[in-house]
Amino acid sequence: MADLVIALGMIGIFAVLVTAYALRSVIAGRVRHARTDADGGSLFVNKPTMEMVYWILDPTIDFVAALRITPNMVTLFSLLPAAGAGVAIGFGWFGLATALAVVSTFCDIIDGLLARKTGLSSGAGEVIDAAADRYGELFMFGGLVYYYRTHDQVLFIVLAALTASFMVSYATAKAEAMGVPAPRGAMRRGERAAYLIFGCAFTPVTQALFGGSPSLALRELPIILGMTIVAVVGNISVIQRLMAVTAMLREREAARAKQADAEEGVPTKPDLPVGLV
């Protein structure tokens, strides 16, 4: 019952915040933010949603900056609620996991904004942030693996979502390491967190409504659905990202080879239609 109360409380808070931001947008217009303008949002986490989150967190960032808390402190602190969320999920406390995961996710957003506000952005900070993100997701997925360890079908979905999570990040990191623009795509860190958090938040509700049902898929539909979306869309995004990175690298290599031939005086062949090659 306590877990259901926590879940309903988190859902209620979210509903209040959405209503407040909607009214604010109608009265004074949407809150523009440099990061949302640069990012542009995505199909699954749109720009107004991102603007609302930054609007909520702006006062917190000012408060944290006034306390002289550094971005790295916030990043490292985010691991504590993330680990707690993983443990809570492992025991089936999805409502508690929701609250802890929200705190961890907000810390993940705050550290970057705080670094920009205080002028403390650095390469070392980005490395720490990226590592904390991976550990944070691993904690949550680890809890899901433990919780569904006796349910083969759902466990497969968890592992597929875990694969998508880390491979999306890998594709981006690999592109940056190879010196090509990181391709945009679905199921980035914020989107994955949103689906898993909402899945956790509504799972205690369906457990209460369908507690007498023998169907696990019905009793825990929200989290299973959330993981399925992350798994399917995320792995499709991975393939698209890797194809895009591969294409850019081939174009770059072809351009370099063509330039080298030109410098050596080797005549280049004219580009022919595909059917004539």
| Per-residue pLDDT, 276 | 46
Burial class of residue 153 in the structure, from the number of CB atoms within 10 Å of its CB (0-12 exposed, 13-18 middle, 19+ buried): exposed
Query: What pLDDT digit, counting tens, does each position of 164-196 carry?
Result: 999 998 888 888 888 888 777 778 888 899 999
Give backbone dihedrals phi and psi of 269, rounded to 5 degrees, phi first: -80, 140
Which pLDDT score is estimated for 42? Answer: 65
Mean pLDDT of 66-72: 86
With 0-12 CB in 10 A as exposed, 13-18 as middle and 19+ as buried, what is 62? Answer: exposed
pLDDT at residue 136 in the model:
92
Residue with the bigger pLDDT between 131 and 117: it is 131
Nearest to 103 by CA among 81, 87, 84: 81
Instruction: Summarize pLDDT for 197-237 with one digit per residue, the tens.
Output: 999 999 999 999 998 889 999 999 999 999 999 999 999 99
> For position 64, what pLDDT does the model report?
86
pLDDT of residue 277: 41
Residues 6+ apart with CB under 8 A from 246: none
Query: From 3.30.470.20, 1.10.760.10, 3.40.50.300, 1.20.120.1760, which CATH number describes the 2-264 domain?
Result: 1.20.120.1760
Per-domain residue ranges of the chain: 2-264
pLDDT in tens, 227-269: 999 999 999 999 999 999 999 898 888 888 888 877 776 665 5
Of 43-47, 87-91, 180-184, the one with minimum mean pLDDT is 43-47
pLDDT for the residue 201: 95
pTM reported for the whole predicted model:
0.85
